Chains A and B, each alone.
Chain A
Amino acid sequence: MRREARNALDRRGFLKSAGALVVGFSMFHRDGLAQFGGTAIPGSPDNRQLDSWLAIGADGAVTAYSGKEELGQGISTAQQQLVAEELCVSFDRVHLIYCDTALTPDQAYTSGSQSHPANFNHGNLALACATAREALVSMASQRLGVPAARLSVTDGVISGGGGKVGYGELIGGKKLNLTLNPAAKRRNPHEWTVLGKPIGRPDMAAMATGQFEYVHNVRLPGMLHGCVVRPPTVGTSVASVDEDSVKDVAGIVKVVVRKNFVGVVTQKPWQATQAANRLKVTWTPGVGLPPQSDYYSSLRNQPSQDVLLVDSKDTMQTLAGAATLLKATYNHPYQMHGSVGSSCAVADVQGDKATLYSPSQGVWYQKTTGAMILGLKPENVHVIFRRGSGCYGLNGADTVSYDALVLSQAVGKPVRVQLSRKDEMAWENFGNAWTIDERVGLDAKGDIITWEHEAWTPSRGNRPGSSTPGNVVTGNLLGFEPAPFSPGPAQEPRAYNNGSNGVPSYVAGRVGGKDGGTGTVKSEKALVHNLKSPFWTGPLRSPARLQNTFAHESFMDEVAARVKADPVEYRLRHLRSERVIGVLKASAQAARWDTRPSPKPGNSRAGTVTGRGVACVAYEGDNGYTGIVVEVAVNQDNGNVWVKRMWVAIDAGPISNPDGLRNQAEGGALQGMSRALGEEVTWDNEKVTSVDWRTYHSLPLGIELPPIECVLVNRPDDEATGAGETSITVVAAAIGNAVFDATGVRLRQIPFTPERVMAELKARG
């Protein structure tokens, strides 16, 4: 789907898609754009009104209001730069307020790499600023009697024709009373003085000195502390709760039981932890869990809701007539967000009114779904974003917000809840597991003439959207159902949408007579089977895009090796998108790519060997472009894979802040490395068993790091795209490809643990 089409969808379409499953969540991000011009959730400032976005004080200082929040990704700094740039004021004169349902425009979720495209192109915050600057210049023109064309603005002072007047003097403290002007001109990116510069984050000093207020630090007068008691296994219900078991606990205020939700409220946080541990709850037996050992193969035999992304209807015949047929299966586990700080929220429910301090990516949906949970009117629920620990998607932020609301309502006082490590990890909405088949047919020259992609992925729940609190565990424990699962056959695709990167970069992506893809292969099919998951699932940084790209880019490497082609050259042969080609070439060039087929000739079959691998992607089809080259060392005696160097090229359109972009690229690359090498959710026959940092393996800070060279491709005349989820998308494939280059062994299952690598090396002989 092109961006214009997406923008044209109305909020109703967005809400409908909120219930859909896997492609649902990719749609979900994208259709979040639909709000602009749509109807906002009641009580939010009107997105079409300039005063909803900007206020200028008597001293000329600018307050900007945004619906896109700072999660640690640096977007608040970039937004502050945007406002300063467009209004021609200095960076320090701008104060940015974001994501308060009473104050800021409703911009739906901060997710899906949509903040940069939403607010930095020709709409929303950028358009508000451009509208305001033009309006102020026009007012100055009248005041000074000088034609607008002869006026210029420097740091909020408009001058020309011998006169000058400041913003504060023109409008200070008063409303602008204008609607956003679609014809307002953005400042020319080639003349930027604030945007495009590596301005440091204003919040950095407070964070480094322990002054910054996270949601964990919110303290309200009379605030109590809550702790939840989650079920011991998956699928259990509360049989009975023995409140007497905690009656002697110091500080106990209340035991709260609502259907299967159980929690305690105490005077102090340590008391809450102790009371929750001591509370005697009897649970019915759980539903049991499928064995993890053959989970991937079990996915193929279940009822599914199918989604067809592309289908040229000729893949079977083309495969049958191909000179060479290749196929492979790739597996990706459930992984978790695993925020370093467990999730926390503070709620104050008094009678029919509620205030919630939440780290949720969707404060407007906390307002509507929080109201459902409390039985209040949405307009009486005020949600204020406070930053939590980095979330990387749907971590425990939404569910703990519900926990705080329920416990506060039960005691009529403010309550702070922070989840235990185990409650965070066992019950968060994991990134989905995937099993993916790839098939191609080659012609006699070794070029790809047809490509089939077929994927199976289980899901349960999702972001709550505006009306599905049962999509996260607390809502479900309270009796709300997750979005329904409705098996059914695929419909014909109506528009090209590669939001989940289910379609490989090398095919034409032809839907409705138009090629929407980035490649050349015309015979193509991409089919997704959405299944039921026993675990909660939801978007985790680069959801679906990362797993599909792991399969596509590993497979492309296998095909290139089979025809003895260089992996970069072979990719270029099948690409037509200038932007994908650009980042692929840029990363290869930075790495001084050694052009030759894989595996690397002359490597020994024992000891430590090195190799290099490449991967690239058009994130979501058109929302950010990345190429990566990695160099690995593989110890063939113990199966250890270590990444020695990385070269990452990123194209996110005009660069708003090069240092912020680099920070995201570096972090994404290393997070991708951790996910590729060690991270996997595990379970036994009744419960999740990866519930702390001994059982879920994240690469710690104290490791020998690969130097990362970032190539930032600036495209000032193109649209701003997403940036934060690009580099992470390509890492796993590039590492796997490098391991193949080094050893001749192909890794098709994440994570690449030493045990798995050793098993493959033994099979190689």
Chain B
Amino acid sequence: MYTSRKAGVDTGLLRFDKMAKITLNVNGRKHTLDLDPTTPLLYALSDDLELRGPKFGCGLGQCGACVAIVNGTAVRSCITPVSAAEGKEIVTLEGLGTPENPHPIQKAFIDQQAAQCGFCLNGVILTAKAFLDKNPKATEGQIQQALSSVLCRCFTHTRMQAAILHYQKVVSK
């Protein structure tokens, strides 16, 4: 007989019934949530705050779909405890711009029609933005390195890289 998964294992990580008031600063607004502090930031953003930008892709920090920018750095919100983001400035895809008034990097993606299903766009755009804002003079090789663990399974790579290079022209001016 087989017994499944982590059945019966009761580690500290699995204790999640200790709720705490946690205040998050998301896209310039403060939200106080009653959460288990070990909850990944992604769940606070996509479930409690019902934001559509950050997405669950793998839950393992491997694909990038969940990325949020925390204090200027792209983080994998699916493996970042919400407690680690408290008091920091969190920016999600909807925090950059709107369809009517998109941020320059969003505009570059729209202009290049750089998506198919669009599910990965959150991680692609935020990872590239956080990197280029800090490294506006990065080489193409360095940009690729920054995107080396971001996945697009529609393989819209050509247009996405073009859109990112277009944004680099904007930030490096």
CB contacts (< 8 Å) of A72 on chain B: these are 115-119, 154
Out of B5, B39, B52, name the residue touching A232 (CB < 8 Å).
B5
- B147 interfacial by beta-carbon distance below 8 Å: yes
Cβ 8 A contact of A421, one of B2, B10, B59: B59
Which of these, B40, B92, B147, contacts A700 with CB under 8 Å?
B147
CB distance from A253 to the nearest CB of B (A): 15
Per-residue interface assignment for chain A, residues 364 to 389, with 1 indicating a CB less than 8 Å from any chain B CB and 0 otherwise: 00000000000000000000000111
Kindly state whether residue B89 has any CB partner on chain A within 8 Å.
Answer: no
In this assembly, does A715 line the interface, its C-beta being within 8 Å of a C-beta of chain B? no
CB of A37 closer than 8 Å to a CB of B: no
Q: Which residues of chain B (8-60) have a CB below 8 Å from chain A?
A: 8-10, 14, 16-17, 19, 36, 39-40, 43, 46-47, 50-53, 55-60
Contact B17 A208 (CB under 8 A): no
* Residue pair A210, B56 in contact (C-beta under 8 Å): no
Q: Which of A269-277, A442-450, A512-520, A587-595 contacts B (4 or more CB under 8 A)?
A: A269-277
Q: Which one of A94-102, A334-342, A463-471, A478-486 is at the B interface?
A: A334-342
Query: Once the chains are docked, how many angstroms separate the CA of A208 from the CA of B19?
Result: 34
> A701's contact among B4, B55, B160, by CB below 8 Å, is which?
B160
Q: Are A277 and B6 in contact (CB under 8 A)?
A: yes
For the complex, is B84 an interface residue (Cβ under 8 Å from A)?
no
B149 touches A392 (CB 8 A): no
Supposing A666-B158, A698-B151 touch, asked if A213 and B3 sit within 8 A by C-beta, the answer is: no
* Interface pair B117/A389, CB less than 8 Å apart: yes
Q: Does B137 reach chain A (CB closer than 8 Å)?
A: no
CB of B62 closer than 8 Å to a CB of A: yes
A678 to chain B, nearest CB (A): 12
Are A232 and B2 interface neighbours, CB within 8 A? Answer: yes
B-facing residues in A204-229 (Cβ within 8 Å):
204-214, 216-217, 219, 229
Cβ of B168 within 8 Å of any chain A Cβ, yes or no, is no
Contact between chains at B118 and A210 (CB < 8 Å): no
The answer to whether residues A208 and B110 also contact, given A203-B118, A233-B2, A667-B154 and a CB cut-off of 8 A, is yes
Q: Which residues does chain B contribute within 8 Å of A668, judged by CB atoms? A: 155
Residue of A nearest to B27 (CB): A210
Cβ B52 vs Cβ A280 within 8 A? no
| Distance of A390 Cα from B110 Cα, bound (Å) | 18
- A702 to chain B: closest residue by CB: B147
C-alpha gap A229/B6 in the complex (Å): 11
- Given A216-B55, A667-B156, A204 and B115 contact (CB-CB distance below 8 Å): yes
Partner of A216, one of B4, B56, B120, B146: B56
Provided the pairs A210-B122, A278-B6 are in contact, do residues A239 and B146 lie with their beta carbons within 8 angstroms? Answer: no
CB distance from A532 to the nearest CB of B (A): 23
Closest A residue, CB atoms, query B58: A421
Chain B residues with CB under 8 A of A146: none
Cα distance, A206 to B100, chains bound together (Å): 9
Does B98 touch A at the CB level, under 8 Å?
yes
Contact between B148 and A209, CB atoms less than 8 A apart? no
- Residues B161 and A705 in contact, CB atoms below 8 Å apart: yes
- A415 neighbours in B (Cβ, 8 Å): none
Given A211-B99, A285-B1, the answer on whether A700 and B148 have CB atoms closer than 8 Å is yes
Q: Which residues of A have CB within 8 Å of B56?
A: 216, 341-342, 418
Partner of B17, one of A248, A279, A421, A702: A248
B65–A340 contact, CB under 8 A?
yes
B156 contacts A209, CB within 8 Å? no
Distance to closest chain A CB from B134 (angstroms): 16
Tell whether A666 pairs with B43 under 8 Å between CB atoms, given A232-B4, A421-B59, A693-B62.
Answer: no
- On whether A277 and B5 interact (CB within 8 A), knowing A268-B43, A340-B119, the answer reads yes
B121 touches A208 (CB 8 A): yes
B71 at the interface (CB under 8 A from A): no
- For residue A631, give the distance in angstroms from its CB to the closest CB of chain B: 16
Residues of A614-672 contacting chain B, CB below 8 A: 659, 663-664, 666-671
A701 touches B98 (CB 8 A): no
Q: For residue A71, which residues in chain B have a CB less than 8 angstroms away from its CB? A: 117
B97 at the interface (CB under 8 A from A): yes
B117:A209 contact, CB within 8 angstroms: no
Chain B residues with Cβ below 8 Å from A392 are: 153
Assembly CA distance A214 to B121 (angstroms)? 13
Contact present for B39 and A667 (CB under 8 Å): no
- A121 CB–B CB distance under 8 Å: no
Residue contact A74 to B99, C-beta cutoff 8 Å:
no
Chain A residue nearest to B44 (CB atoms) is A270
CB of A249 within 8 A of CB of B52, answer no
Q: How far is the CA of A337 from the CA of B43 in the complex (A)?
A: 25
- Given A211-B99, A250-B36, residue A702 in contact with residue B148 (CB < 8 A): yes
A708 at interface by CB-CB < 8 Å? yes
A-contacting residues, B83-142, CB 8 Å: 92-94, 96-99, 102-103, 106, 109-110, 113, 115-122, 124-125, 141
Binding site for B on A (CB under 8 A): 71-74, 200-201, 203-214, 216-217, 219, 229, 231-233, 236, 239, 245, 248-250, 268-271, 273-274, 276-286, 337-342, 387-390, 392, 418, 420-421, 659, 663-664, 666-671, 673-674, 692-694, 698-705, 708
Known A278-B6, A663-B116, A705-B158; 17 more pairs at CB < 8 Å: A72-B118, A204-B113, A207-B115, A208-B109, A209-B97, A210-B93, A210-B122, A214-B52, A217-B46, A229-B5, A233-B2, A268-B43, A281-B4, A340-B119, A388-B117, A700-B148, A702-B147
Q: 8 closest pairs, A vs B, by CB?
A: A72-B117, A210-B53, A702-B147, A210-B93, A390-B117, A207-B118, A670-B155, A210-B94
Q: Write 23 A-B pairs (CB below 8 A) sorted by A numbering.
A: A204-B118, A208-B102, A211-B94, A212-B52, A233-B2, A250-B19, A250-B36, A277-B6, A279-B4, A282-B1, A339-B153, A340-B152, A387-B117, A388-B117, A389-B57, A389-B153, A390-B153, A667-B156, A692-B62, A700-B147, A701-B148, A701-B157, A708-B158
